[in-house]
């Protein structure tokens, strides 16, 4: 039995469940992106300051201190676990769509690489490898793009006629 390309055939109540899940998930995901934008100004130096602090800059408009090891480990742990589950569920739903197989596999697997690079990258940045802030931004943007694309494709196919 295969589920590939079958999402548009699901019963209305399952489609409603998936749509409800995607709406709430998207609100939560973009609230997280909004928080990142608020705390880092969506730029490499802001990312660096968020985790390494700026207490050495006397005229800093907002004083930030380097995160403790406990804070970094908690942040990395929580985000890697929760985003892995979110993207696993999203990948299962993407697997039921009838899109090009290469695109499907990319959308299903790429988020896990981005999770490793983004949150592993935050830890690496925290240890002092400052250029990793660019990897964090790039992988975070790619993760967001993959999320948006997956949700769009799923919603589009949910509303296709049987």
pLDDT tens per residue across span 24-49:
999 999 999 999 999 998 899 999 99
Q: What is the pLDDT of residue 162?
A: 60
pLDDT (average), residues 43-62 = 88
CA distance 27 to 2: 31
Six token digits for residue 71: 């804070």
**How confident is the model over 141-158, as pLDDT tens digits?**
999 999 999 999 999 999
φ, ψ of residue 115 to 5 degrees: the values are -60, -45
Q: What is the pLDDT of residue 3?
A: 59
Closest CA to 7 of 88, 96, 94: 96
């Amino acid at each position: 039995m295969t589920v590939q390309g079958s999402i548009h055939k699901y019963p209305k109540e399952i489609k409603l469940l998936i749509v409800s899940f995607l709406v709430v998930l998207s609100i939560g995901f973009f609230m997280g992106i909004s928080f990142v934008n608020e705390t880092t100004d969506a730029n490499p130096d802001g990312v660096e300051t968020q985790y390494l602090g700026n207490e050495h800059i006397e005229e800093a408009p907002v004083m930030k201190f380097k995160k403790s090891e406990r804070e970094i480990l908690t942040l990395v742990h929580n985000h890697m676990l929760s985003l892995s589950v979110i993207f696993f569920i999203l990948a299962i739903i993407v697997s039921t769509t009838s899109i090009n197989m290469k695109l499907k596999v990319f959308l299903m697997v790429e988020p896990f690489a981005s999770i490793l690079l983004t949150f592993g990258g935050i830890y690496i940045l925290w240890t002092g490898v400052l250029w990793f802030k660019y990897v964090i931004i790039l992988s975070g943007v790619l993760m967001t793009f993959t999320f948006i694309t997956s949700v769009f494709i799923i919603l589009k196919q949910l509303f296709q006629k049987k």
